[in-house]
Structure 1
């Protein structure tokens, strides 16, 4: 009996399915209940050289008072050729080493469930890790290397929106055919496909002709959070602060590069570089917003960016159900209480929404079909719940064609369903 895992290693969350005896089953990877089907894709290293992943990493990070090194959104570094490795408490870790830690934990949980070693896996990948083909190739190579370090020998890749389509296909009755537009919204990328699906037990040896078009854009959940941070919260950390450069009398703004890095939660640890921290210290000496610069120093030294962005994400999610929300956060001398409305959120993210809309239109065009010829729109991922995202699809296809179920596990389930394509 051949057993193969399907792993959706995501920017924010990861999930696991298993294919055995011709069926696919979702497994819990970070707990014992249904919520355990998702594991936060985070790592925590403490000063005792212990390494934690998932919810355990978050709990340990909190209990240790944020001392140590907390890492998130690791997937976004895969195509970054300028980031090869990092030193943590005297030990150097490559990007593949960091990913391997998470994959190894998921693999162990899966093997515990099935009761035997498993060395075969179908890994999900976005349609575009990067718009640069060379960087895209590097990202996939790094992910494969990480999987081998985690103990997998047979490794296949499946596009995440195609995997979501396979999950949708499993819900169809035997012989039922559909042409479906898949929208898979992750933390780092939004990926789309138009694919022909058919319910029932039939040959899946080659599905290439069923995939009518693919596309993706590097805009997703994290980008929306970053935009809110930039426009609503970064003012508390010196975005609008001025200072006098050494030996000069005119006022200048805090470097945009510092604030831009601050607004990408996975890159905040980069501000710990000695040269950057010294620059910030010099800014504080002459700034007209001393408290804001102290807040900037504190978020870097105390490493509380994760919790701040959780507050931003919470407010964003609440806007899917209500017209207004509050970004509320307290840490040291910092008190953030910023009201944000749904219309304001949509205005701030107008460019991000436009990039997604343009990609949707491009994927439809390259499929050779009109929107009226597409039977169903299947949306997956947390960002697919944003009302304006749903509106983009309703405008093109009609509200009655939109489906959204198993928003966080469809890709992992579809990766398990993809196994017969490879083995």
Structure 2
């Protein structure tokens, strides 16, 4: 039997898995016919059964009782991995939660392959955690342990932007000097790499990779800044209370605007404090909306509206966001100009990381032949403008934004594990 390997793109927002099946590289359907799945879990309260992806999102939005989680990748390397959380009244650690999500990807791939897959290349950002090498190393070790836990025997890692480059290289007809712009939900990563059809069989590509940089800013940060600028003020953000006109506490607003922190807000202590503060609030109508969100645990619904608005503003100049889950006929008209102003600082940090990548590679921006855009956040208008201005003479490749990393990881697994398969008596696969 041919030994099959795979590549797993465990993303902050979306995930995918692709397999090398006897030389055929392909994405595995992971949710009905979809080859990508939102990185979301819903634990149903009646039995604590886990549901994943779009099913999880829909169950939560339908207000079914349970615990909803997103952006789990951002927990890797942080103290939360050891602290754990409470799920429907029971303590659960994050390695168990993340393993549950990644295992259901592996199960789909095992079924598609007709065998248990033991060889994997896991994608990873250039930096799991900015400016903290120890936390970054710890995050990779945690992800490796999770991969072992769910049954993988041979585990390698590859930077996600490099994997995206491999996916595009398979279709090239001539050599290119490329920069990969990989903007995910949690990180933005860049790689300058030489691409060639003659290189796709090479197991060692270190001489072709000129530089990699990354920053821990992504689409979730855009959601947060949009929420703080346009939505949270309608929930009393920066309003005042009491005789001394003090500003209301801001931490809960910032946590409410971040996917990975929402679930920690629904505590009796915070809800009691918010109720008490409401009596002294100078804007009881708006601040009362915050209390409603906390009492009814609709923070994720709030963030989903922010994300939906971000996506809508890709094509629209203004969007009317509905918040009738807070109060009847409550909506906010949000304009693209406000969104772009809110994320100016994040966009500049992303562009600065790309410029640093060019500097580290020792190449001028005019030398770049191809800009590979991957990750859903590359569709944001400000990002499109920034990178087309930065590389006005380069061709833009932006197909398969959500799946190119998974495909590239499978191509990489083919090259890395070919020798293992050969030594075990299995002929190495040829790239299709």
SS of the residue aligned with 2:15?
strand
Aligned alpha-carbon RMSD (Å): 1.8
Q: Structure 1 residue 339: deviation in Å?
A: 2.1
1:263 is matched with which residue? 257
Q: Structure 1 residue 422: deviation in Å?
A: 2.4
Distance 2:41 2:339 in 1: 30
CA distances 1:260-304 after superposition (whole Å, capped 9, x unpaired): 111113311111233322321221222222333332222223222
1:370 is matched with which residue? 364
1:273 is matched with which residue? 267
Choose the corresponding residue for 1:81, options 79, 82, 88. Answer: 79
Say whether 1:172 aligns with 2:172. yes
Q: How many correspondences in the alignment?
A: 413
Say whether 1:101 aligns with 2:100. yes
Structure 1 257/81 Cα, relative in aligned 2: closer, same or farther at 3 Å?
A: same
Where does 1:335-374 land on structure 2 (aligned, <5 Å)? Answer: 335-374=329-368
Q: Which runs of at least 4 in structure 1 moved beyond 6 Å after TM superposition?
A: none
1:388 is matched with which residue? 382
CA distances 1:378-413 after superposition (whole Å, capped 9, x unpaired): 101111112221222222221552221111100000
1:110 is matched with which residue? 109
5+ unaligned residues in a row in structure 1: which ranges?
none
Relative to the length of structure 2, the TM-score reads: 0.91
Is the deviation greater in 201-210 or in 98-107? 201-210
Q: Structure 1 residue 344: deviation in Å?
A: 2.4
Distance 2:143 2:296 in 1: 31
Q: Structure 1 residue 56: deviation in Å?
A: 2.2
Is the deviation greater in 315-324 or in 333-342? 333-342
2:68 is matched with which residue? 70
SS of the residue aligned with 2:122?
strand
Say whether 1:221 aligns with 2:236. no
Q: Structure 1 residue 332: deviation in Å?
A: 4.0
Distance 2:135 2:124 in 1: 14
Say whether 1:122 aligns with 2:116. no
CA distances 1:235-279 after superposition (whole Å, capped 9, x unpaired): 2222133223xxxx4231111212111111331111123332232
SS of the residue aligned with 1:209?
coil
Distance 1:304 1:334 in 2: 15
Structure 1 275/403 Cα, relative in aligned 2: closer, same or farther at 3 Å?
A: same
Q: Structure 1 residue 355: deviation in Å?
A: 0.5
Where does 1:244-255 land on structure 2 (aligned, <5 Å)? Answer: 244=242, 249-255=243-249
1:290 is matched with which residue? 284
Higher relative CO (Cα under 8 Å, sequence separation at least 6) belongs to: 2
Work out whether residues 225 and 309 of structure 1, in 8 Å CA contact, stay in contact via their aligned partners in 2: yes
1:196 is matched with which residue? 194
Work out whether residues 21 and 113 of structure 2, in 8 Å CA contact, stay in contact via their aligned partners in 1: no
SS of the residue aligned with 2:321?
strand
